[in-house]
């Protein structure tokens, strides 16, 4: 579980979300740029969580969807899990 929580994608999404929250607290006006930043953050967080889910599914022996970066490497993740 530790390798999923400390992945670079999740850490990046969390830190960028925290910096945007800090900007909201300081009273910065909410402009269209801020809305795009929040939209970008949401997409980044969704992709990071999706990658974690795909890796988890691949390591349990399930096939990953074809559009996943893990697709085709399921045997590698299953082998790593079985070695532990």
pLDDT tens digits, 32-73: 998 999 999 999 889 888 888 887 777 777 777 777 777 777
State the DSSP H helix or E strand holding residue 81, giving kind and residue range, or none if neither.
helix 74-83
Distance CA 42, CA 65 (A): 21
- Percent of the chain predicted with pLDDT > 90: 13
Q: What's the domain count of the chain?
A: 1
pLDDT score for 26:
86
Distance CA 38, CA 20 (A): 8
pLDDT score for 6:
67
Looking at the whole model, is its pTM more than 0.75?
no
- Which structural domain, as residue segments, surrounds residue 52? 2-83
What is the length of the chain? 84
């Amino acid at each position: 579980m530790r390798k999923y929580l400390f992945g670079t994608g999740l850490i990046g999404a969390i830190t960028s979300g925290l910096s945007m929250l800090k900007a909201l607290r300081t009273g910065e006006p909410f402009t269209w740029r801020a809305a795009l930043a929040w939209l970008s953050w949401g997409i980044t967080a969704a992709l990071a969580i999706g990658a974690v889910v795909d890796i988890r599914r691949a390591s349990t022996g399930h096939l990953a969807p074809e559009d996943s970066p893990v697709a085709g490497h399921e045997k590698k993740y299953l082998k790593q899990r079985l070695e532990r």
